[in-house]
Amino acid sequence: MAVKILADSACDLPEDVIEKNGLKVFPIPVILGDEVYKDNVTIKSKKMFDDMKVGKVYKTSQISRGEFQRYFKDLCDQDISSDYIYICFSSGLTKIFEAATMALADVKEEFPDFKLTIIDTKCASMGYGLAVLKGLELADASLNSQELISEVSKFSSKIRHVFTVDDLTYLYRGGRLSKTSYFVGNMLNVKPILHLDNSDGKLYPYRKTRGTRKMLHEIIDIMKKEGNIEKNHKIGISHGDDIEKLNLIKEMIYNEFEEVEIVESMMGCAVGAHTGPGALAIFF
């Protein structure tokens, strides 16, 4: 039986990768004032970051239970015989997993033969994207659904996430950072390094640095000590429209680690609205 992988737009995978794999991606709502957009469908992240640089405030919303019902019913109408696996954004940062789970229960009442499993990766951005890529690779290798679910879950639990942002305001305003961490970080005027805890899928402060180059060296140090990075290791990088910082960290990674593969992209709107311009995230 064919296994088909699904994802949502917080995976931050490059568009060419999505198109090449025929990946179905559920767009996360992005809000500016009274306007509601669909991430990477009716608004692109470059436009959002340009707006944020001049003070416009973007917010996000979760994909609703009703929207998921419609998406899942469409899958039933298109091909109910396939085994679907929705590799999902971290439940520690959004209620998308909860909404999708409730919608699945609703849809199965009408379509009891609909086969869909939802994996809570507890990952975000390109870290989540690496989990989706793993799922696509395993599906291409013809693993059955139970094997694939097990392997993707194990893989997701080991992905390290290291984030840095130019301004903590975006994380705090979006509820992704506590008030204490926000005020301490701002008072010290530091370049914060944050990480995502794989046990609960939430963001926490990790290290503090001063200056961009010092911060990038700290990230490399974390990768060396915690990454077990070997030849052909796949590393994800996402950024908040900061090509200079992206190129600097890529050069440092290639100098430090032998023959690694880097998958890079600009952060999508769903993640970038909460990290802001100038953010950088490394996943390994």
- Structural domain boundaries in the chain: 3-28+63-158, 161-283
pLDDT at residue 204, rounded to an integer: 87
Q: Which two tokens stand for residue 277?
A: 């311009």
Q: Which two tokens stand for residue 199?
A: 């046990």
CA-based radius of gyration for the chain: 19
pLDDT at residue 191, rounded to an integer: 77
Distance CA 149, CA 168 (A): 35
Cβ-based neighbours of 112, under 8 Å, separated by 6 or more: none
Tell me the H-state helices in the chain: 15-21, 45-53, 65-79, 96-110, 125-140, 145-158, 169-173, 179-188, 212-226, 243-256, 269-275
Neighbour tally for 234: CB within 10 Å: 14
Distance CA 52, CA 56 (A): 5
Sign of CA dihedral 238, 244, 249, 251: positive
Instruction: For residue 193, give the H/E element and its range.
Output: strand 191-197
- pLDDT digits (tens), the chain, 284 positions: 689 999 999 999 999 999 999 999 999 999 999 999 999 999 999 999 999 999 999 999 999 999 999 999 999 999 999 999 999 999 999 999 999 999 999 999 999 999 999 999 999 999 999 999 999 999 999 999 999 999 999 999 999 999 999 887 787 776 666 666 666 555 556 778 999 999 999 988 898 888 889 999 999 999 999 988 988 999 999 999 999 999 999 999 999 998 999 999 999 999 999 999 999 999 99
Distance CA 261, CA 233 (A): 6
Residue 237 CA from chain centroid, whole number: 11
Distance CA 274, CA 59 (A): 8
SS3 percent helix, strand, coil of the chain, rounded to 5, is 45, 25, 30
The pTM for the full model equals: 0.92
pLDDT at residue 185, rounded to an integer: 59
The matching CATH number, chosen from 3.40.50.2300, 2.130.10.10, 3.40.109.10, 3.30.1180.10, for 161-283 is 3.30.1180.10
The matching CATH number, chosen from 3.30.465.10, 3.40.120.10, 3.40.50.300, 3.40.50.10440, for 3-28+63-158 is 3.40.50.10440
Tell me the H-state helices in 116-178: 125-140, 145-158, 169-173
Distance CA 101, CA 115 (A): 13
